[in-house]
Copies of this chain bind each other. A is one copy, B any other.
């Protein structure tokens, strides 16, 4: 048997693989490793912020006590560590989402939560509404379920709805996916009015909302906006009747290395998601969950404040450098938090075509805008992340990038 014949046995994958792009993260880790290249590409937390000493101490404590060590190293329940879920319940309540432990599932990062949402809702050919641009990893996670992607226009809900009214109807539309806080890649935050419009849209189309909010704790200015899930409940609905599936993460505040996130949703959906977790990988490592449960209890707010100060300075450095160096045809978002600035180069520049020159000549990396569109359309935009480089690198990198954009324009 040739391997071609073996692969021909995997038609579903073959179809899907063509839609899956080489991962942002993999490619970008490679770029970062090139000496002299300043990378604005990866949405990667700064390891200088990892609370390494606290993490090491928690591993040591848990593994020093025979009872907790035995539990930490054994198979565990698919829904996740009870203490960690209880902390999440308190955290969600503090944000206006009244829920209890049965509304929480621990996932292996919020990437897994997105993949589970697709498994839960999407059959091949179903419609998923996504903003344009949207998070690349979500497109990859959803693609495995072979949906049709349609544009979600939060500013023009009527246009979004109109896609379904004639000629097609909306019965195959299953959810709308958004990153409401400091979005990846746009950096933009949905205001209260936009969140309410989205809830109205979901009501009109009778669909779920996947609210992906890994950056919420990283706000550098302005007032927090209530989660869409909280607004859904504010109308008098309980969490067990909410149409919102909220996905949270410990990757951005603590560390992405332990791969832990969560879903908050109605208990009926959680019950089904637990079955999906179980058949997917049984459970997230109990030891890692116990470590993060101890970290959150001691450190979450303090660590979030530390991260805010650290990343605020980097964001400010990037915004200042953009103002100073970019040509007039370029525009960019001014995020109130998170890790990303969305820069529109203008002047008909295809940022995907420009990337090799950016890396080879300007020695600076970014993610081309087209990676963030389900249809892979040509784009004159790019995503710039300010999370990993230091302020001096940010200034130098933006200056080099600006010269290239000016030259290409």
Q: Chain B residues near A256: list those with CB within 8 A.
A: 73-75
B69 and A10 within 8 A (CB): no
User: Is the CB–CB distance between B266 and A285 below 8 Å?
Assistant: no
Report the bound CA distance from A20 to B148 in whole Å: 27
Contact B281 A108 (CB under 8 A): yes
**Stretch touching chain B among A44-52, A317-325, A335-343, A349-357:** A44-52
List, in ascending order, chain B residues with CB within 8 A of A1's CB.
203, 206, 241, 243
Contact A266 B3 (CB under 8 A): yes
Please choose the segment from A58-66, A92-100, A160-168, A300-308 that sits at the chain B interface, where 4 or more of its residues have CB less than 8 A away: A58-66
What is the CB-to-nearest-CB distance from A161 to chain B, in angstroms, rounded to a whole number?
A: 16
Residues of B with C-beta under 8 A to A23: 78, 275, 278, 282
A279 contacts B20, C-beta separation under 8 Å? yes
Chain A: number of interface residues, binned into ranges: 35 or more
Contact among B29, B63, B175, B278 with A26 in the assembled complex (CB-CB below 8 Å): B278
A121 close to B (CB within 8 Å): yes
A74 neighbours in B (Cβ, 8 Å): 44-45, 47, 255-257
| Minimum distance in angstroms from A377 CB to a CB of chain B | 21
Q: Looking at the complex, which of A112-120, A179-187, A360-368, A395-403 is the stretch in contact with chain B?
A: A112-120
**CB within 8 Å for A64 and B56 given contacts A143-B279, A275-B17:** yes
A348 at the interface (CB under 8 A from B): no
Which of B64, B73, B175, B268 touches A255 (beta carbons < 8 Å)?
A: B73
Q: List 25 A-B contacts (CB under 8 A).
A: A2-B241, A3-B241, A6-B266, A7-B269, A12-B119, A13-B272, A17-B275, A20-B275, A23-B278, A25-B75, A45-B74, A47-B70, A52-B66, A55-B73, A56-B59, A56-B60, A56-B69, A59-B59, A73-B255, A75-B257, A112-B281, A140-B278, A141-B279, A259-B282, A288-B288
Q: Which residues of A contact B (CB under 8 A)?
A: 1-3, 5-7, 9-13, 17, 20, 23, 25-26, 29, 42, 44-45, 47, 50, 52, 55-56, 59-60, 63-64, 66, 69-70, 72-78, 107-109, 111-112, 115, 119-123, 137, 140-141, 143-144, 174-175, 203, 206-208, 240-241, 243, 255-259, 266, 268-269, 272, 275-276, 278-288
